[in-house]
Amino acid sequence: MKMLSTLPTPRSTLSRFSIPSTITTFTSHSQTLPQASLTTSPPHSQILSTRHSLLSRNLSAVDLVRSHLTRLRLTEPHLRSFLHLPDDQTLLTQAHDLDRRIANGEEVGPLAGVLVAVKDNICTSDMPSTGGSRILENYRPPFDATAVKRVKELGGIVVGKTNLDEFGMGSTTEASAFQVTANPWDVSRVPGGSSGGSAAAVSARQCVVSLGSDTGGSVRQPASFCGVVGLKPTYGRVSRFGLMAYASSLDAIGCFGSSVADTGILLHAIAGHDRFDATSSKQEVPNFLSHFDSTSSLESKPLKGLRVGLIRETIEDGVDAGVVSTIRAAASHFEELGCSVNEVSLPSFSLGLPAYYILALSESSSNLSRYDGIRYGNQVYADELDSLYGDSRAKGLGSEVKMRILMGTYALSAGYYDAYYKRAQQVRTIIRNSFKEALDQYDILISPAAPSAAYKIGEKKNDPLAMYAGDIMTVNVNLAGLPALVLPCGFIENGTAGLPVGLQMIGAAFDEERPQSFINTCKMGELLRVGHIFEQTLENGRFVPPIVADSVE
């Protein structure tokens, strides 16, 4: 491909995946695992159990907030997940209010007392929203993002704004202009990114659930690195209003939780059409909460008949061997649950990475033009307009952001547009079609969420191409606009605790054309149902990092 040849080869990654000509299926590589025992306690829904405790008055919201603040004090100095924390009193006041309403027998929302962390590129009217950038240091939006508004309306308590790679541009959270966040499983490692703060906060139980954003894997990869559940909904399922745009056609607000149920409950709260986002879907949000009922009712083969496709290109050379074996074990678990598992080839898979970077960077070069120092944010004084622009942006934006703006500007320039942007759009169509074809044959597709487990802080800082290559597992899903769920499915050996490995489950998008179709309205619910059953039946399915293991029952 000419487009590929004009780019410097990002080491082996782009050529790593061969391009077979057709989609072929293989019988599953069936590795026998010991029969999963259901004796280890699976993760339960913190949201549901907390709600039960609150409503039955076994627990007060004030106590809940107090214990949260205690844990935060212990963990935050090591992790640095948050860019902004409200003062204790603000949270306690909200808790008091909730306790009073429960005492009065008033109706409380489904997220009442749920402690929610919010990625700092999602606008909150009562807290700063910087997007992890100096240029928006101390910026306070005059409005709540629609997702935040819905969380608040349903009773959720926002406990702070989480760290991220500046404007979502990065895969480690090291590109934050303010601080580096550590991985709760090993503080010498990155939490992933760009939603590293939100993932680490859930992992270390600094909150119950959190909001992140996913443009090319920014929810799923950190979920994998931090051993939590991460959900990237179908494009358009959640309003982007209030999310600082990185690449508008790929951006999605996503959810983190320590169980599929919690993640699904948060999604249910924020999903739905929003008249402030023209790209948000008018599809009704189906009620999929009933899927999270207790597991005791599960049959021996609860997923009988489900067709699972393991994307072959994601378990080939270049992917960490430990990751591959964990994913194969997960595939076996699916078989034990009654699924048929086959390998499926997506020939266009390796095209996703360069196409993604061209489109995302092109759009970002445009989306970040508004940070010019004129109306808000940090302005550098200058005698001339051009210097005002230049100096404000030079000082306010970080080097990763500048590099991406430059590359995106280049790709959109006259004479290059056809070779880059237009070409990448064509690739996007090919990818979308190939996923559609595969999802006609399979109910879900599975893959690792990242080619490796969490790596060391600083390890890829000076090798952006290596970091970009790490997005290979996730970017295609954004290009195709599909929903995907990442949940921890095992460990890679690393010292005492091991590092979690995330399994990515990709579902079909809802069909805009046929809103009444039963199959389509249940796509997202189906993904969550499968994830929930997988999680509840997985041996050693509890993923609590050592840093908080003592305090989590």
Partner 1 sequence: MSYTILKTFQFHPLLLHPTSILKRRNRFLYSTTTKATQTKVPTSTQSKKLDKIPKDYEAVIGIETHVQLSTFTKAFCNCPYNYGSFPNSSICPVCMGLPGALPVLNSKVIEFAVKLGLALNCNLAFDSKFDRKQYFYPDLPKGYQISQFDVPIAASGFLDVDIPLEFGGGHKRFGITRVHIEEDAGKLMHTENGNFSQVDLNRAGVPLLEIVSEPDMRNGIEASEYAAELQRLVRYLGVGNGNMQEGSLRCDVNVSVRPIGQEKFGTKVEVKNLNSFASMSRAIDFEISRQVQLHSQGQEDQIVQETRLWEEGSQRTITMRKKEGLADYRYFPEPDLPSVILSQEYVDAIQNCLPELPEEKRRRYEKMGLGMQDVLFLANDKNIAEFFDATLAKGADAKLVANWIMSDIAAFMKNEKLTINDIKLTPEELSELIGSIKGGIISGKIGKEILFELLAKGGSVKEIIEKKDLVQIADPVEIEKMVDKVIAENPKQVEQYRGGKTKLQGFFAGQVMKVSKGKANPGLLNKILLEKLNSKS
Sites of contact with partner 1 (CB under 8 A): 122-123, 129, 131, 136, 139, 141-143, 145, 240-245, 247-249, 275-279, 362-363, 365-366, 368-372, 374-376, 385, 389, 409, 412-414, 417, 421
At its nearest, how many Å lie between partner 1 and the CB of residue 417? 7
* 194 is annotated as an active-site residue: yes
Rounded to the nearest 5 percent, the helix, strand and coil shares of the chain are 40, 15, 45
Among candidate residues 119, 149, 460, 523, the one labeled active-site is 119
End-to-end CA gap in the chain: 54
Count of C-beta atoms within a 10 Å radius of residue 16: 17
At its nearest, how many Å lie between partner 1 and the CB of residue 179? 20
At its nearest, how many Å lie between partner 1 and the CB of residue 421? 6
- Assign 501 to helix, strand or coil: strand
Nearer residue to partner 1 within complex by CB, 43 or 242: 242
Q: Facing residues of 341 across strands?
A: 308
List, in sequence order, every beta strand (DSSP E) within 113-163.
115-119, 157-162
CA 257/CA 207 separation, integer angstroms? 9
At its nearest, how many Å lie between partner 1 and the CB of residue 86? 20
Among candidate residues 133, 195, 218, 281, the one labeled active-site is 218
At its nearest, how many Å lie between partner 1 and the CB of residue 406? 13
CA 456/CA 477 separation, integer angstroms? 26
* 171 is annotated as an active-site residue: no
CA 412/CA 366 separation, integer angstroms? 10
Closest to 343 in 3D by CA, of 324, 362, 315, 319 = 315
Q: Residue 462: exposed, middle, or buried by beta-carbon count in 10 A (0-12, 13-18, 19+)?
A: exposed
Tokens 């209030």 locate to 242
Answer whether 23's CB lies under 8 Å from 347's CB.
yes
CA distance readout (Å), 67 to 166, 262, 548: 31, 19, 13
Among candidate residues 194, 239, 259, 434, the one labeled active-site is 194
At its nearest, how many Å lie between partner 1 and the CB of residue 2? 20
At its nearest, how many Å lie between partner 1 and the CB of residue 241? 5
3-state secondary structure 6-71: CCCCCCCHHHHCCCCCCCCEEECCCCCCCCCCCCCCCCCCHHHHHHHHHHCCCCCHHHHHHHHHHH
CA 490/CA 492 separation, integer angstroms? 7
Nearer residue to partner 1 within complex by CB, 25 or 248: 248
* 119 is annotated as an active-site residue: yes
Closest to 166 in 3D by CA, of 123, 120, 224 = 120
Nearer residue to partner 1 within complex by CB, 235 or 334: 235
At its nearest, how many Å lie between partner 1 and the CB of residue 479? 13
**444, HSE (Cβ side, Cα atoms, 13 Å):** 29
CA 440 to chain centroid: 25
Task: Catalogue the active-site residues.
Answer: 119, 194, 218
